[in-house]
Amino acid sequence: MVQVDANLISDWQTFHSVFAKQFGFPGFYGRNMDAWVDCLSYLDDPSAGMSSIHVQNGQTLSLVIDNAQSFKRRCPEQFKALVECAAFVNWRIVVAGGTPLLALAFNV
């Protein structure tokens, strides 16, 4: 389980800073949603070096967003991107025959 305090997010810059720190994204992380999707798509492949957080093949990581309600109100664009891109990470792996990597949980 990984917890993210959404109170630390106020714009795109802080969104990417918070996730990069929490997941240990590599130094070349592009700080955009394509790069976010790419990094999280390799949670089950530590050799890819895309994150310091990993799950075993076939496992799902619970991503708990603390203060989600205020985050959704304060940063609707970032909140929507989080939901849509987490779904895309899962779709990408399911299409390839794998198990979803992310389970979002919102702690209001």
52 vs 97: CA distance, rounded Å = 24
Q: How many distinct structural domains can be found in the chain?
A: 1
**Cα 66-15-13 angle, rounded to 5 deg:** 150
Distances (CA, A) of 89 to 14, 44, 58, 108: 21, 12, 14, 23
Which strand (E) or helix (H) includes residue 69?
helix 68-74
Which single residue is written with the structure tokens 């996730």?
19
Under the banding of pLDDT at 50, 70 and 90, the label for residue 8 is very high
pLDDT tens-digit profile of 22-39?
999 999 999 999 999 999
Residue range of the domain that includes 63: 2-107
pLDDT tens-digit profile of 38-97?
999 999 999 999 999 999 999 999 999 999 999 999 999 999 999 999 999 999 999 999
Residue 86 sits in a domain whose CATH number is 3.30.370.10
